[in-house]
Each structure stands twice: as C-alpha cells, then as structure tokens.
Amino acid sequence: MTETEVVWRMPEWLPRELELSAPRHDDVSKMRLAIEVAARNVVHGGGPFGAVIFDAVTGEVVAAGANWVIEQRCSLLHAEVAAIAFAQRRLNTHSLATGNYELVASSDPCAQCLGALVWSGVRRILCGAQASDAEAIGFDEGPRREDWVSELERRGIRVTRGLLAGEARAVLQAYAARGGPIYNGPGASG
C-alpha cells in the first residue's frame, strides 16, 4: 500500500481541438459537441464515448470527458464519470445540485455511469446513441434496470434520449470498423 494519489489528467488535445469556450443554448448544439468529443477521442486512441456538462442557464461548458479507461489505466474512467469528476473539481463541490447542470452524453449510460449521475447532482441528462448501439459492437452495458429512465425521473433528473442518434451511432460503428478494443465485453480480461 504505497500509492497515495490517483490522478486523472485531461488530455491536452481536448481543449486544443474543441471549441469549449462558446456557450451552447440548444440541445442539438450541445449533443454535437459531446459526439465530437467521442469522435476526436477515437482518433487519439481512446474509447468511442464523450460527455459534456453544461450550465443549463448560461449554456457554458463546465467540463468535458471521454472514455480514457485504457489510456489512463482506470476502469472507472468512462466519459460521464470523467465529466462529473472534472466538473466537481472545477466547481469545488461534491454535488452539482447547487446549480442547474446537465450532462450530455454521446450514448446511453452504462450501469456504473447511471449510478454515478444520480449522485452527481445533475438535473438532466441527454443521450445520443442507445445502449443497444453500444451492445451491437460488443460493449456490455452492465446490470441496469429496465426502467432506469423513470428511476432517474422520480429522483428529479430529466431524461432526453435519441438526440442525433444517427451521428452518435456512426462514431461507435467507426470505432468497431477500425478494430478498437472492446475492453469490457463478455470474457474480456483487459
């Protein structure tokens, strides 16, 4: 037991290659950025998932994340988890419920991220591709409840799904086509 720190790093390409300073006021523009994060992440060797947390009032980007599981050697580092961690660090709070924040993800949340976003304090999630799209290329979405949408909504989190689903799905399919590793699928050992 010698490790005293776990450090997650924002890849330097992310703020350089994406326009993160311009506010976005409509759902489609927000989702387009999340999909762009996913697509650029694949180019840089990461997983085909992106997520962005916006201030719903100002439209500003609070944090962005992508799937950095393999690159940063941490199974937790899904796009949604990364965005939540960087947003909470930026705002210096463990709960985004102190404001009005929304999480925009290029795909439906897996079992882990579904739980993570409940505790994060976001008020709304927007999803692009469906879980079945990720499963179609071999990803396991984990043990989620069938009624996860209503479980979120009864906890005060609004859910919008299928936004720009075709564009979001295209990133997953491009990842599969280039032979990207499916690191959590059945029988995967890493």
State which of positions 48-77 bind its own copies (CB under 8 A): 61-64, 69-70, 72-77
Would you call 43 exposed, middle or buried from its count of C-beta atoms within 10 A (0-12, 13-18, 19+)?
Answer: exposed
158 binds its own copies (CB under 8 A): no
CB 91 within 8 A of CB 53: no
Considering only 144, 159, 161, 182, the residue that binds its own copies (CB under 8 A) is 144
CB 32 within 8 A of CB 106: no
Considering only 34, 81, 127, 163, the residue that binds its own copies (CB under 8 A) is 81
Is 93 or 166 the residue whose CB approaches its own copies more closely? Answer: 93
Q: Give the Cα separation of 150 and 172 in Å (integer).
A: 26
Give the shortest CB-184-to-its own copies separation in angstroms.
5
Give the shortest CB-62-to-its own copies separation in angstroms.
8
| CA-to-CA dists, residue 11 to 14, 65, 174, angstroms | 6, 9, 21
Structure tokens at 145: 């409840």
Interacting residues toward its own copies by CB under 8 A: 1-10, 12, 15, 20-21, 61-64, 69-70, 72-77, 81, 84-86, 88-90, 92-95, 97-98, 110-116, 118-121, 140, 142-145, 147-148, 151-152, 155, 183-184, 186, 188-190
